[in-house]
Structure 1
Amino acid sequence: MQPKYQLSKKGLTVWRIHAAIESLSVLVIALIACALTYYFEGPYWIYAVSIAVVIIYSFLNMYLFPNIRWNHWRYEVREQEIEIQHGLFIVKRTLIPMVRVQHVDSSQGPILKHYHLASISISTAATIHTIPALTVEEADGLRASISDLARVAEDDV
């Protein structure tokens, strides 16, 4: 059974903005390739390839991948563990025992802040697990809940 909760739908917009910024860098590289081709009188097919790469990359990165990512991201906080699931072809399911949780952080960059979203990071001795694109209220509630549950789990040991 997969975890119950999905990320905020606003996360799609944030991921698309990040993808648009990345697509601009790909566009700049394609423009440089076209300028060099023009300057050195290279073959015309480089123009077509550059344009195709920018269009395909932008479509995949701004539309398709964020939708897939959002549809497959799930999480659930239980009394004894936290479960995180993501991925399409390779589905990664992570169980984090509450007794292993050392601390929980929430973070907001400027784009997340604009859309009233936050990410939480759950630190264990070995790794840091992140749940992205939660509403600020949900992130604050999860951070407090995980902190309380981890404290209780630690007291029981």
Structure 2
Amino acid sequence: MRQPPSNTIALDAIKAWRISAILSEAIAWVITITLFVLAVIFDFSIWIPIVAAIISLLTTIIFVFILPKLRWRRWRYEVFEQEIYIQHGIFIVSRTLVPMIRVQHVDTKQGPILKKYQLASVTISTAATTHEIPALLEEDASELRDRISALARVDEDDV
């Protein structure tokens, strides 16, 4: 079996993923609080809001505190002359090889949360799908984009 890729994504990815999870979980908490208010106003069973609060608490713990760190530990990538090797996943580990000859274009993207931590993601597009290497330092993302682009161009010239 092939060795896992050696390059990791930026450690600040954990912080960025936690902020994203907090924003998502805020919706669950707004619904939970709304259920409590409605239970008081309309005098119906308090058990529904209590169950919603327990579920919200559990999902917040899992998605904000546990999963970002596990996700960061599993994300690996490596760029070779002929292919890009990407490994990710928490319970089901996915190992993807993207042949350079199939790369159509490479982009970097950066949302407001990634920008706060000077991070960017590299997206690699092929005819079939798009692969992403998330949360690299901006400089590393730019260098990786340029390197993949150059290697993909060389492969096209060889064909």
What TM-score, normalized to structure 1?
0.96
CA deviations 1:93-116 (Å, max 9, x no partner) are 110000000000001111111110
Determine what percentage of the aligned residue pairs are the same residue: 49
> 1:28 is matched with which residue: 18, 27, 30?
30
Residue 105 of structure 1 corresponds to 107
Q: 1:118 aligns with which of 108, 120, 141?
A: 120
Conserved 8 A contact 2:36-2:46: no
Rounded Cα–Cα distance in structure 1 between residues aligned with 2:135 and 2:154: 27
Partner of residue 144 from structure 1, selected from 130, 143, 146: 146
1:33-79 per-residue CA deviation (whole Å, 9 max, x = no partner) reads 22222223222222322221221111111010101110111111000
Matches within 5 A, 1:3-152: 3-152=5-154
Matched residues, number: 157
CA distance in 2, matches of 1:127, 1:89: 23
Amino acid at match of 2:95: R
Residue type at the aligned position of 2:87: Q
Structure 1 residue 136: Cα displacement: 0.4
Aligned equivalents of 1:110, 1:88: Cα separation in 2: 25
Q: CA deviation at 1:140?
A: 0.5
**SS in structure 1 at match of 2:154:** helix
Secondary structure at the counterpart of residue 125 of structure 1: coil
Instruction: Answer with 104-113 or 45-54: which moved more.
Output: 45-54
**CA RMSD after TM alignment:** 1.0
Residue number in structure 2 paired with 1:153: 155
After TM superposition, the score normalised by the length of structure 2 is 0.95
Q: In the aligned structure 2, how far is the partner of 1:72 from the partner of 1:23?
A: 23
8 Å contact kept, 1:82–1:98 = yes
Consecutive unaligned residues in structure 1, runs of 5 or more: none
